[in-house]
Amino acid sequence: MTNREVARILEAIADILQIKNDNPFKIKAYRNAAEAVCHLQEDLLPLYRDGRLRDIPGVGKSVQAGIIEILEKGSMSYYDRLLEEIPSGVLDMLAIPGLGHKTINLLHTSLGISSLPDLEQAAREHRIRQLPGMGAKSEDNIIKGLELLRQGANKATLGLARPLALEFLQYMERTGVVQKAALVGSIRRGKSLVGDVDILVCADDLERLHNVIETYPGLKKIDECTSTNIKGRLRWELPFEIIRVASDEFAAAQFWTTGSKAFRKAVLPGGNLQPFRGLSDEAELFGKMGMQYIPPEMRENQGEIEMARRRELPRLVETSDIKGDLHVHSSWSDGGGGMAEMAQAARGMGYVYLAMTDHSQSLSISRGLSEERLQAQGASLEAINSQFKDFTILRGTEVDILKDGRLDYHDEVLKNLEVVIASIHSHFKLDREAQTRRIIAAIEHPLVNIIGHLTGRLLGRRPGYEVDVDRILEACAINQVALEINAHPDRLDIDEGTARQAARLGVKMAVNSDAHDVNDLQLLEYGIINARRGWLTKNDIINCWEIDRLRSFFKKDGGSCI
DNA sequence: CCCCAATTGGGGGAATGCCCTCAGGCATT
């Protein structure tokens, strides 16, 4: 059980209590504990073994007891009892935009709605508009929200699926039941939303393989079990498939099961893998086909096959190419770590620079910095910076783009910063034209360097706002403004398609973690995967550059601006 | 519920505008 999963249970308890209209401080306590567990740098298990769970700020006597129960038994009796009152189907309704705890309580108690299907039926039968505070529009929004949910249904973010898949894979390797094992399928290709976990294995002892899988603590259930296939579900109902092949077929099977379907069809139309038996790895296989090795992230049949035949594949960016992170929050706004702590962690990752980019004043919910506090932060930052010889903290901001396209700080304030990210955090529902003009106004502002999370999408939860990407890319190219690839696995914004289009137009990008604590810095990896899916090289990505080149880009030396 | 002062009891809410319906819930990181 990962920290994140324990946190999700605590969060669910808070949600149930809030729906029940319980003591607000109790709710807050569970939410605080969930957040604290989420931001924890250490695993809960060793903390539990050393009896140090209470050391976590926000974890008291009773939450500690709950966490211990979860770690020991995989469940928690208080949570189970709450679920009897408020079933999980009621909690599912929280995913619908516009429905919060109060409204859900009303729907549950007065109409007896306990699931998403119940909700849909009630909305279609116009029973919801009879409730106080609800009308025809509310019913409309509910139906729209349900449709949105259905689109993302049965898909998990890479951020959820990949760690679970790796944990499962490592478990099988640790038990020694597999001679070879590899992640394949859409997770290997790095898709941002995946349907299932596909793992390829070689295992001589079939019976033992079955036993080992049946006793895996992260297993929910097994649906199907043959000598070549084991299908079932992991935690969070994540489907998995284990594909068992002979040792001399492994490389060919790796190639075949990684896909994608379109790639397979184009590169090997007959699907005859016989000539590729006995190969030692995929590289050899590509060699036999007269091609360069195609990285899994590119295998979508979008021109990469022809390029590989001509030996013209780009050298894709790698995590080790990253020299710094340009979007990081600290406890000055809504981050969980101090500036020095974040800087040390970034330095520990081998970075040579880090931009501190806390929120600006309009985003009050994130304790956005007033111009005065921003100045104070700058002074503190300089003091920390002077302690480093081989590392630089860049003074920056994630400044809000206001409704009309103006920025949330005066130019005199922005002038003193080295990195200005401009992002949208409000007015998501402007029409396409207004939204596009708003963003272009920010791009044309001479002091803006990067546009943060361009579309604001949250994978599986919220579509991005409407923007004209072509016009935005054009404006970025003209004004020497970079687009962010926000690496958070719930965002991955811009997406791979936009990234590829941007690169073709000469628009530079920044792969940023948007970290709110030390752990989050590691999320940058997902951004790199997404960048690779967009065929990017280190030249396309400004935080792969030396600091001098980066600084000169920010000064827009070569641009037509200023 | 947790924390912090003390060892039983009091204090603690992230701020603000939008939206839909008519007072207040919801969304934003």
Question: Tell me: the pLDDT tens digits for A60-118?
Answer: 999 999 999 999 998 899 999 999 999 999 999 999 989 999 999 999 999 999 999 99
pLDDT for A39 equals 84
pLDDT tens digit string along A244-282? 999 999 999 999 999 999 999 999 999 999 999 999 999
State whether the beta carbon of A22 lies below 7 angstroms from any atom of strand B.
Answer: no
Q: Stated in angstroms, how far is A304 CA from B2 C1'?
A: 56
Measured from Cα to the C1' atom, the residue closest to B24 is A133
The Cα A301–Cα A393 span in angstroms is: 41
Below-70 pLDDT ranges, chain A:
557-562
Q: What is the pLDDT of residue A557?
A: 61
Q: So what's the pLDDT on residue A559?
A: 46
CB-strand contact A20/B, under 7 Å:
no
Rounded Cα–Cα distance for residues A270 and A150 (Å): 35
Task: Give nearest nucleotide to A66 (CA–C1').
Answer: B1
pLDDT on residue A553: 97
pLDDT tens digits for range A114-138: 999 999 999 999 999 999 999 999 9
How far in angstroms lies nucleotide B16's C1' from the CA of residue A364? 7
A472 with A441: CB under 8 angstroms?
Answer: no
Which alpha helices (H) appear in A359-460, and where do they start and end?
371-385, 411-415, 432-444
The residues, ordered by sequence, that sit 6+ positions from A510 with a Cβ below 8 Å of its Cβ are A326, A327, A450, A482, A483, A484, A485, A541, A542, A543
Task: For residues A238 and A102, give the distance between their C-alpha atoms in angstroms, rounded to a whole number.
Answer: 30
A132: the nucleotide nearest its CA (via C1') is B21
At residue A561, the pLDDT reads: 46
CA A427 to C1' B17, in angstroms, rounded, equals 10
pLDDT of amino acid A562 = 43
Pairing of strands A219-225, A229-234: antiparallel
| Pick from A228, A202, A225, A196: nearest CA to A213 | A225
Residue A560 approaches strand B within 7 Å at CB: no
Task: Please tell me the distance from the alpha carbon of residue A268 to that of residue A291, in angstroms, as a whole number.
Answer: 12
Q: What's the pTM value of the predicted model, to 2 decimals?
A: 0.94
| Distance, Å, A519 CA → B6 C1' | 36
**Sheet containing A392-400: which strands, arranged edge to edge?**
A324-328, A353-356, A392-400, A419-423, A450-451, A482-486, A509-512
Answer whether any strand B atom is within 7 A of the Cβ of A365: yes
| pLDDT of res. A150 | 85
By CB atoms closer than 10 A (0-12, 13-18, 19+), residue A301 is middle
State whether residue A523 is helix, strand or coil.
Answer: helix
The sign of the dihedral angle between the CA atoms of A115, A118, A123, A128 is: negative
Alpha-carbon distance values, A435 to A418, A441, A444 (Å): 26, 10, 14
DSSP A402: P
Cβ partners under 8 Å of residue A46, min gap 6: none
Q: What does the radius of gyration of chain A's CA atoms come to, in whole angstroms?
A: 25
A23 beta carbon < 7 A from strand B?
yes
Contact between the CB of A156 and strand B at under 7 Å: no
Covered bases, chain B (protein CB within 7 Å): 1-3, 11-16, 18-29
Tell if A100 CB is < 7 Å from nucleic strand B. Answer: yes
Q: Please state whether strand B lies within 7 Å of residue A431 at its CB atom.
A: no
Q: Is the CB of A24 less than 7 A from some atom of nucleic acid strand B?
A: yes
Nearest protein residue to B18's C1' (by CA)?
A: A427
Amino acid at A359: H
